[in-house]
Chain A
Amino acid sequence: MNRTRWIFVGILLVALVIVGASLVWRAVSNRGSTPEGLTVERPAAVTVRVLTSLPVEPWVRSAAEAFNQSDPVVDGVPVQVEIVAMDGLTALGRWDRNDFGALAADVQPEDLSEAERAALKDFPTAWLPDSRYLVELANASYKERLGRDVFLTDGEYRARSVVISLFTWGIYESRANVLKAHFGEVTWRTIHDAAIAKGGWPELGGDPAWGYFKLVVPNPAKNAGGLTAMIAAAGEYYGRTDVGVEDVTNPEFQAWLGELMGSVTDFSSASAYTAEDFALFGYSVGDGGQLLESDLLQNMQGILTRWADPLVLYYPRYVTWFDFPFTVWMGPETSALEKNAALAFERFLLSEPQQQAALAYGLRPANPDVAVDAGPDSLFVKWQARGVEPVVPRADAMRNPDRDVLLALLRWFDLNVVE
């Protein structure tokens, strides 16, 4: 070996010594002070935070209490579930703005300072929105930002429905009788005609004390149901299940929709719990509306207790389903252990006892082994006389809206109704 090569080997050895010494020094100096790794070290306990949409929140919270009381353990680590109630649309807005603080594509948890790691302690482990389309929209947003999906559509961690529900007409019986006598059936078109009746209820054959016809539609900026109602109305207006941007931006449709929305008495409601408001303020704020079946069923007893007039349900021609997908966050902000613990809770929700418990909340089971009328507490049994149908009739399911339809409707609402 000539001198040049000796020099080369020597320098190589020096470089390796520097790197080796650095690694040894780091290991020694960081011992005992390194914060718990997000993916490597095993914690003493794991908390699964589930962002839960409002219609299923009471059931999921109750299930979480039962889950927590069973002292669950995943991979040898105790698990607790924490429920964070949030409307699906609001949660989508927060994912979209990255309010939860997902890391950039080139940042790994081990690169973070202790304070930055602490900020991730409340990062949601899973999301249970109203509908799969919200998951797709969140994925689209993160794909632009990170170049990958953050919620999976297949495999073990895929979004999976835990219960389902659909939108039905809920109308105070006295008003429904007048509407049926006048129009023959309850549809978005007849509701529109009732809404624009200049003489109000007397013109339709109703009591003058009822004032004008009042529609109940949740505020679309606060409740995913509000947006769904507008899409369902568009479907019926055009007589099809697939509605595009050109449909919802059609001036004739917008004028029709504007007249319909003009019969809503109050969009300033504090909460997104529209069916609850419907029950709380009774026929004084709304004669009827197309709302989530489970919300209507949950509030049926309250309506009977508080108001003299019961509510009746009618199933629309074009049906919108909410499939409540349980969706595990796949980014590095949560550990593999947390992800697995979330899956354990998902399995718990899908278990027969919890699916049966969902019936008492008016939710339809996702587990096909559990019948809608199973169990004495099923609201589908309790309220059959009020028009609830265990098997949905005449179902033409509306297709999920795409991002542009969603945006167009929200902007229209903002400019024409809110303002």
Chain B
Amino acid sequence: MRSSPQRPWSKGLPSDQRTCLVAAIILIAVACMCGVLVFGAGGQLWGSLTSVFRPEEPTSSAAWPADSAALTVAVSPGMAPTFQELAGQFNRQEQRTPDGQTMQVQPLALTPEKMVEQSLATPSFQALAPDSSLWLNQLERRWTALQGTAAGEEALLPIGDRRVSNPVRYATSPIVIAAWESVARELGWPERPIGWQEVQRKATQDPNFKWNHPSTGHASGLLATLAEFYAGAGLTRGLTPEAATNPQTLEYVKAVESTVRFYGEGEDVIVARLAAEGRNFLDAFVAQEQVVLAWNRSSQGERLVAIYPAEGTLWADHPLALLELGGPGETAVTDNQRRTFQAFAQFLTSADVQRQLLAAGYRPADLSVSLDGAGSPFVDTDAVDARQPYTTLQVPSAAVVEVVQNVWWYTKRPTNVILVVDTSGSMEGVKIERTQEALRAFVSHIRGEQDQVGLVEFATSLKRFEQLQPMNDQNRAALIEQIDGMQADGRTALIDALFEAYKYLQANGDTEAINAIVAMTDGQENQSAYGFSDLEQYMAEEQAVTVVVFTVAFGSDADESLLQNVARAGNGQFRRADETDIEELYKIISTYF
């Protein structure tokens, strides 16, 4: 009989005993495993192991407590005052979450374009209320592109994760061409329909016609530009990237854009300037219908009328939407914040608030609120027409909108801007650092290659005069290097510096471009050879080239009176800034060019 080879550990045991031993070991092992599983030690051990190897999630820069019921809502600047008032009413109700937190809404005024940008990173807000759904669409498109398609490839439906949810419309207003009544009548209002093309033709043929539209960072500015592209391409629908970038289209848009008096922020700023500078500031501008009603209600003198463009317009549809935060490195929107969002959305669409929005000149989202009812601003006026618009332009895809936004930089009127910067001794420390940051931001925001920037650095006298240079990458880097090298010392000779900048732009003689000076100082004029009256006289006499002067008072020691006078003489704007907002202010000013 052939014996099987014996294993060392069982050597010497009879075969039945070996069998028993094997069975016993198996049983004990099974029992031990049962014990381990029952105790849950296995789970704990696995859990501890996996936790050891689980990568740490990056922490968020914008954070709020896990039970927070405070909802920060980014809102378009034009709607911000109304929204602020409504948020105050909501907050005073002191609604509570089931765990006893008080619901609070904090509005944050932000241009829609910036809302989109910030919503893609780690925003400090949990909800947004731009002036148009266009921005939500653009946000979704950019979000999907950021996420990539990997997640969607295995899914049944190509419906990706969304960045926004629960959109609710609370007000609407069509985009119109707001014109003084006399100007509108000259164009043919109210007898016949007036189109974008007629206004554009008027602007290109009549050098005295002054019109404006906001930058493409706002729905009304985007629409006005889109309308130019449609007109240039000879279309009212089906605008493609190819049609938008066709040289003929670009030439047309460029011709129309060259008639725009200045580029800038939103309707709110235009209205503020109208109020400050009066009837002659502009003949017409692109805005929401609500602006016309609000202006006519609050202002004396000639009224504005709304021209609903014959080719069609777009609607500002004021959505309120929740951001779906909670990805890696982001603090998730809390359950309480969701409750606050729901409650606030209900509040905004409630009958009382809808009537308040109507009183403010918006068309309520609640269709049961009639525009013809007693007290409605649409009644007893022909400045607006509740039955219009009759048609709309086709909203192109988000891809085409992005092309239009980008192409605009290359078709808009070229800009020559001289930055006049005070680097006197009083600027030492944080002020000069913040100023350098602001200037760098300004230079970065000048994107068109036809735009030129120069730099005048002054203190006791001129320290540096960098002539205008096109803002291509190389020149931008060189200018930023000059900005980085600025040092604070000496006294303040602002008027002399302004004289030099103004003289230079006149000598440059570029009448096709927007010519502008942006002057900033933190102190009192105490060193110039010239006085303000000399400068004012010179500016009045030398007008071969139109130069607009923006002045910025940095901090509380600046001579605001002088700066206001300079801005007035230069048909520009005076602004205040401090260390916290100087960079933002320069960014805003950059949108004017």
The interface of chain A, by Cβ under 8 A from chain B, is 4-5, 7-8, 11-12, 14-16, 18-19, 21-23, 25-26, 89-90, 92-93, 96-97, 111, 113, 137, 140-141, 200, 207, 209-212, 214, 221, 262-271, 276, 279-281, 283-285, 299, 301-303, 305-308, 403, 406-407, 410-411, 414, 417-419
Contacts and interface: CB of A to CB of B under 8 A. Distances in A.
Nearest to B398: A268
A419 B391 contact: no
A211 B136 contact: no
A267 B238 CA distance: 13
A89 B158 contact: no
Interface stretch (B83-91, B367-375, B519-527): B367-375
B157 interface: yes
Interface in B451-498: none
A166 to B, nearest CB: 23
Given A8-B20, A262-B238, A209 B310 contact: yes
Interface stretch (B52-60, B64-72, B178-186, B314-322): B314-322
A270 B319 contact: yes
The CB with the most chain A CB atoms within 10 A, among B17, B30, B317, is that of B317
B311 interface: yes
Contact of B315 (A18, A271, A281): A281
A382 B234 CA distance: 45
Nearest to A209: B390
B390 A410 contact: no
A284 B370 contact: no
Given A22-B39, A268-B395, A279-B367, A92 B157 contact: yes
Given A271-B167, A284-B390, A284-B392, A92 B17 contact: no
A53 B311 CA distance: 37
A97 B151 contact: yes
A414 B370 contact: no
Interface stretch (B21-29, B101-109, B199-207, B414-422): B21-29
13 contacts: A7-B24, A18-B32, A26-B38, A96-B156, A211-B311, A262-B237, A265-B394, A270-B169, A281-B392, A284-B174, A303-B367, A407-B158, A410-B157
Interface in B371-416: 371, 386-395, 397-399
Contacts of A111: 43
B193 A221 contact: no
A209 B17 contact: no
Interface string B118-153: 000000000000000110110000000000000100
B387 A93 contact: no
B8 interface: no
A301 to B, nearest CB: 7
B391 A269 contact: no
B156 A285 contact: no
Contacts, number: 174
Given A7-B24, A281-B172, A212 B236 contact: yes
A282 to B, nearest CB: 8
A336 to B, nearest CB: 25
B312 interface: yes
Given A93-B157, A211-B391, A280 B16 contact: no
B31 interface: yes
A308 B368 contact: no
Given A212-B236, A280-B172, 13 more contacts: A18-B32, A19-B31, A19-B38, A26-B39, A97-B155, A113-B47, A211-B390, A212-B237, A268-B395, A271-B319, A305-B367, A410-B158, A419-B397
The 6 closest A-B pairs by CB, nearest first: A302-B367, A211-B391, A11-B24, A93-B159, A270-B133, A270-B167
Given A268-B134, A284-B389, A418-B397, A25 B39 contact: yes
A11 B23 contact: yes
B236 A211 contact: yes
B394 A266 contact: yes
A182 B25 CA distance: 92
Contacts of B310: 209
A192 to B, nearest CB: 15
A23 B155 contact: no
A93 B367 contact: no
B317 A270 contact: yes
Nearest to B396: A268
A419 B396 CA distance: 9
B157 A407 contact: yes
Contacts of A14: 28, 31
B321 A270 contact: yes
Nearest to B310: A209
Nearest to A281: B315
B544 interface: no
A15 B389 contact: no
Contacts of B172: 280-281
B35 interface: yes
B16 A4 contact: yes
The CB with the most chain B CB atoms within 10 A, among A214, A280, A283, is that of A280
